[in-house]
Amino acid sequence: TPVLTFRDVTARYSPGVRRALNGVSADIPRHGHTAVVGPSGAGKTTLFSLILRFLEPEHGAVVLDGVPLQQYSLDELRRRVVYVEQDTPLLPGTLRENLCYTHRDADDEALWNVLREVRLEEKVRSLEHGLDTPLDGTVVSGGERQRIALARALVSRPEVLLLDEATAQLDGLTESAIHDAVVKVAARGAVITIAHRLSTVVDADQILVMEDGVCRATGTHDELLAVD
Ligand code: ADP
Ligand code: ADP
């Protein structure tokens, strides 16, 4: 069974305004990488807002593990579904505190494993205080911050990882580190990305093509090309 299902979901941000989504149905497999693509205003971010319950459907339902989302407490939902937005702010405090924000009892080995996954291991080893280096914005670049945000998400091993990298200005190392981490995480759970870069979409297991609040097509990159 899919980990997430959108059942004929309609959504709007306030009464009277135009619908942001207009009858979206889609299944997100329990394992693998689903990429959401489409022009600005298509409804990509709204899909994430519904999964995170920042917004409730006007009609239809979003179902996690066979259970409608409203039946989960927000605490449980936040454990199962983790969101890495563009430019996720880091917390004041040390790298360790940032990494352990949602998963307080993670041990050092687990932390080093995720740092390796996002290719920050060498950087952290070179920092004077390692995991206990205070992060004040001067020790880490923008790309490194993005990788720390991803590492923090990976520490908690969510069932569903939501990644918005559509417009982030990423350096090459960060881009490939994120790409590799997505592939790895997709082997053990569901990863949904909002992606503009073709490179992340080509090897996605499923692509949802959004347009004007509806899901126009679903398939792999090759399947979608064959239809065109
Ligand atoms: P995404 O594809 O990730 O949803 P968008 O292309 O919609 O990204 O938006 C990229 C950035 O531009 C976002 O920071 C968004 O807030 C901003 N943006 C989107 N639409 C508008 C708009 N009509 N006017 C001004 N800023 C916008
Ligand atoms: P995308 O992420 O694909 O760029 P969005 O999901 O952000 O698209 O937007 C879908 C529609 O919902 C657009 O018409 C957009 O203007 C509208 N919308 C998005 N966010 C808000 C908001 N916070 N308030 C009102 N309308 C919004």
Q: 166: Cβ below 6 Å to ligand 1?
A: yes
| Ligand having the closest approach to the CA of 47 | 2
In this structure, the strands spanning 4-11 and 206-211 are: unpaired
Q: With cut-offs at 50, 70 and 90, classify the pLDDT of residue 166.
A: low
Ligand 2 atom 23: residue of nearest CA: 13
Res. 19: pLDDT tops 90: yes
pTM, to two decimals: 0.87
Question: Across the strands, what pairs with 11?
Answer: 21
Please report where in the chains the tokens 């969510």 appear, as a residue.
158
Phi-psi region of 164 (alpha: psi -120 to 50; beta: other; left: phi over 0): beta
Ligand 1 in contact with 214 (CB < 6 A)?
no
Q: In the chain, count H helices and then E strands.
A: 9, 12
CA atoms in the 13 A half-sphere facing the CB of 132: 2
Q: What is the pLDDT of residues 51-104, one digit of tens each?
A: 999 999 999 999 999 999 999 999 999 999 999 988 788 888 999 999 998 777
Rounded to two decimals, the ipTM of the complex is: 0.71
> SS3 of 96, please?
helix
* Mutation probe of ligand 2 site: the residue of 45, 162, 212 with most atoms within 8 A of C-beta: 45
Q: Which two tokens stand for residue 210?
A: 């959004």
pLDDT (tens digit per residue) in 192-206: 999 876 677 888 999
206 lines ligand 1 (CB under 6 A): no
In this prediction, residues 210-216 reach a mean pLDDT of 96
